[in-house]
Chains A and B, each alone.
Chain A
Amino acid sequence: MARNLFKIGIVVLVISVAASAGNISGKVSGVSGESVVYVDVVQGKTLSVPSEHPLIDQKGLMFTPHLTVVQVGTTVDFLNSDSVAHNVFWTSVGGNKKLTHNLGTWPKGEKRSFKFDNPGAVPLLCNVHPEMAGYIIVSPTPYYATTDKSGSFKIENVPDGSYTVSAWHEGAKSQSKPVVVAGDTKADFTLSK
């Protein structure tokens, strides 16, 4: 009997938690191509950091993928698949030029890793191939999404509450707005270059 009561309690708890989370969906307009939308800060909640390492490859004189979104605290692996020398560096993180960093040079087939502890956009560059460009968006929370071709996005399982939600697009001015999440919530952005 006690065991059944415990199970019922667990189910009620899960249902109540689920009921207090929602989705943020909307559209980013004014730009074409992939944009990133993320929740800036979730107060009073400890967020676990993913253990997996996303991979960014340098292949054919390009960063692949061109755009990567990670949660703050994530370690990213950088691979050189080209038979020419590359390096990876960035001039700022989130516009903070003090966070510039250069990973140096490494041979084909090898990786270098870096843990991103500061949120913001990281413009990736290669100092011998100035046309190469890539971006890492370091989200402060695990609540982020990238848009589809139409500019639509959906961030799932965001706890109910008041947040600042930001939208980023390559070459455009980022935009932030307050959003109150209570169940399914809409948030649209119009970005301009």
Chain B
Amino acid sequence: MRSHRGLFSVLCSLLVLIVLSGTSAAIPAFSRQYGTSCSTCHIDFPKLNDFGKAFKDAGFKFPKDDESFIKVPPVLLGAPANKELFPRSIWPGTIPGLPPVGLRYNHFFQVVSANRNNFNLQNTAADPALSQFIPRTDFQSGLFSIFMAGNFGSDIAFWVDDDISVGGSGGAGGLGDGYLKFVNVGHFLKLPTDALSLRFGQFELDLPFSPARSWNLSGWDIYDQPSIGSSTQNVNNAFALSSAAQGVEISGGHQYRGYHYSLAIVNQNTGGTPGSGANVPPVVSYLSDSNFKDIYGRFSYRFNLERDPASRNEIQAAGTAGPRDHTYLSLGTLYFYGRSVQRFQGQDSGGTPVVLTAREPFYRVGGDFSFNYHTFNVFGQFLYGRDQNLLPSIPQGLPLPTGFVVGSPAHFSGGFLEADYLVYPWMMTIMRWDRVNSTADFLNGVGADQNNPPASPYLSPVSSVRNRITPGIQFLIHANIKTSFEYQIRPRQIVYLPGTNTALTSPFRTNSAVAGLEFVY
């Protein structure tokens, strides 16, 4: 019984992770505009079905004959005939006939176990206020978000979402995505339809599986993985693939069949925690300090596997009992290249104080797959990350560094494997395995820096490999109301005596049970 209770433990960071995961969902504005249900585009929102993917590809429009489906006519910002007057007239566009606003709210309940304060109990002497601050059960407000999306005519799509409130406090949220997408601009170059689109603004990178629009209660660990070096390295790269990016992206192809690609040039976004040593204040939130931009690219190909060619090439497969998602296999790859910025107090060769800037090249490379058979979908992602390690070089006899030397790189790898099965249109079961292998996590946790012992005990993973198994189940109460349950079997942790390898606790798992309720309208 006691060990069973021990399975129910959670860290505060977990809750933060949950609350911050998934920053937008289904779009009620589209339901209003087209007079159709959420399930036209979503399986268990916000997970997209094949039609939803095609709708998104087309710039938030029906891929064919869009105007015949709109129940609320758009407002003309110029008669179509004005096109003939161009350039002596403004190119005519439209705005949605209804304000394309959707709102989302969610709420969480978590259960934690008796071992939830193993770390804090050890820390009580240093800070009594920390004692047992993690409650056993807890209701938590999540997000109240607003999102707007639609099409301005002329194949110009827009999206803006913003968290009005996070965790019950107003103003704590922020902008998620905000962009304009010029769909199918390739026709100016006589390229095939949908071969080239252009997107400007702030957006989530074109990841194989969107963390911002994830249907899981907790995010995929690998997409949130920063690269933090060990105590012998100088890598403090807070960049994670789930971070919002500001820049420009070209893309093409389709998500529901055949090829899809994207190539983005985005601002640097690597502000992190300070490394040990004589740092100047870290560059947290400092987006870019040079003209150098990070680069992200993705390519995927989806094979629809129906035998009938007509069905295979349609947006949805023609099942005997009605249209359905294709049976398909999708394979993809991604690559991100950037530079991580850190600054240090240093000096030049003459002894004059200067700020030394380390711009450490790093990359992330990964592969992904997704296989779907009727209502069963299994998919996964593998990712490898590598950061060059520039160590401050302090010449003999000088107090401050004058430059950098290349040290051993920091790296991590991992990914996830998830299987979703839609038992009924209103019930989806989920089984997920997250894995991250980061030596830095382990080394930082053990913290056996005998020359610079910390003041308080260390909470550390037992292994450099963090595995998490997450079964879950979700129910649609209505097409716009969902309740979700998730049980996370988390990796083992341990608390060490400062500056030693002496364990203060037995290894324990910070498992957690979380329930969420959310609705969009």
A interface residues with partner B (beta carbon < 8 Å):
59-61, 82-87, 89, 102, 104-107, 126-131
Complex Cα spacing A41 to B479, Å: 42
Question: With A60-B69, A83-B64, A85-B314 in contact, do A128 and B35 touch (Cβ < 8 Å)?
Answer: no
- List the one stretch of B133-141, B290-298, B316-324 in contact with chain A: B316-324
Question: With A84-B315, A85-B314, A128-B51 in contact, do A104 and B64 touch (Cβ < 8 Å)?
Answer: no
Q: List 9 A-B contacts (CB under 8 A).
A: A61-B35, A82-B69, A85-B315, A85-B318, A89-B321, A89-B322, A105-B318, A127-B322, A130-B479
B:280-312 near A, CB below 8 Å: 310
Interface residue B352 (Cβ < 8 Å from any Cβ of A) = no
Complex Cα spacing A82 to B63, Å: 12
Question: With A87-B322, A89-B322, A104-B318 in contact, do A131 and B69 touch (Cβ < 8 Å)?
Answer: no
Interface residue B62 (Cβ < 8 Å from any Cβ of A) = yes
B68, A60: Cβ atoms under 8 Å?
yes
Contacts of B35 in A (CB 8 A): 61, 131
- List the one stretch of B36-44, B213-221, B258-266 in contact with chain A: B36-44
A86, B64: Cβ atoms under 8 Å?
no
B310, A129: Cβ atoms under 8 Å?
no
- Told that A105-B319, A128-B51 touch, could you supply 20 new A-B pairs with CB distance under 8 A? A61-B35, A61-B69, A82-B68, A83-B62, A83-B63, A83-B68, A84-B62, A84-B69, A87-B322, A102-B320, A102-B321, A104-B318, A104-B321, A106-B318, A107-B310, A127-B322, A130-B37, A130-B39, A130-B479, A131-B36
Complex Cα spacing A106 to B311, Å: 10
Complex Cα spacing A59 to B40, Å: 15
Contacts of A59 in B (CB 8 A): 68
Question: With A61-B34, A85-B314 in contact, do A128 and B62 touch (Cβ < 8 Å)?
Answer: no
Q: Of A105, A106, A107, A131, which is within 8 A of B37 by CB?
A: A131
State how many angstroms separate the Cβ of B202 from the closest Cβ of chain A: 31
B:55-76 near A, CB below 8 Å: 62-65, 68-69, 71
B:311-350 near A, CB below 8 Å: 314-316, 318-324
B479, A86: Cβ atoms under 8 Å?
no
Number of interface residues, chain B, beta carbon within 8 A: 26
Complex Cα spacing A129 to B316, Å: 13
Main secondary structure of the interface of B (DSSP, over half): loop
Contacts of B479 in A (CB 8 A): 130
Contacts of A60 in B (CB 8 A): 68-69, 71
Q: Of A87, A105, A129, which is within 8 A of B40 by CB?
A: A129
Question: With A83-B62, A84-B51, A84-B315 in contact, do A127 and B321 touch (Cβ < 8 Å)?
Answer: yes
Contacts of B39 in A (CB 8 A): 128, 130
A87, B323: Cβ atoms under 8 Å?
yes
B321, A87: Cβ atoms under 8 Å?
yes
Contacts of A131 in B (CB 8 A): 35-37
B310, A128: Cβ atoms under 8 Å?
no
B65, A83: Cβ atoms under 8 Å?
yes
Q: Of B51, B62, B68, B320, which is within 8 A of A104 by CB?
A: B320
State how many angstroms separate the Cβ of A3 from the closest Cβ of chain B: 62
Contacts of B322 in A (CB 8 A): 85-87, 89, 102, 104-105, 126-128
Contacts of A128 in B (CB 8 A): 39-40, 51, 316, 322-324
Q: Of A83, A127, A129, which is within 8 A of B36 by CB?
A: A129
Nearest B-chain residue to A85, judged by Cβ: B323
Nearest A-chain residue to B62, judged by Cβ: A84
Contacts of A126 in B (CB 8 A): 322
Nearest B-chain residue to A88, judged by Cβ: B322
Complex Cα spacing A45 to B34, Å: 48
Nearest A-chain residue to B323, judged by Cβ: A85
State how many angstroms separate the Cβ of B41 from the closest Cβ of chain A: 10
Contacts of B37 in A (CB 8 A): 129-131
Complex Cα spacing A87 to B320, Å: 9
**Most chain A CB inside 10 Å of its own CB: which residue of B64, B71, B321, B322:** B322
Contacts of A83 in B (CB 8 A): 62-65, 68
**Most chain A CB inside 10 Å of its own CB: which residue of B65, B314, B323, B324:** B323
Complex Cα spacing A130 to B323, Å: 13
Complex Cα spacing A61 to B71, Å: 10
Complex Cα spacing A126 to B316, Å: 14
**Most chain B CB inside 10 Å of its own CB: which residue of A84, A104, A105, A107:** A84
Complex Cα spacing A86 to B63, Å: 15
Contacts of A106 in B (CB 8 A): 318
Contacts of B318 in A (CB 8 A): 85, 104-107
Contacts of A86 in B (CB 8 A): 322-323
**Most chain B CB inside 10 Å of its own CB: which residue of A59, A60, A107, A128:** A128
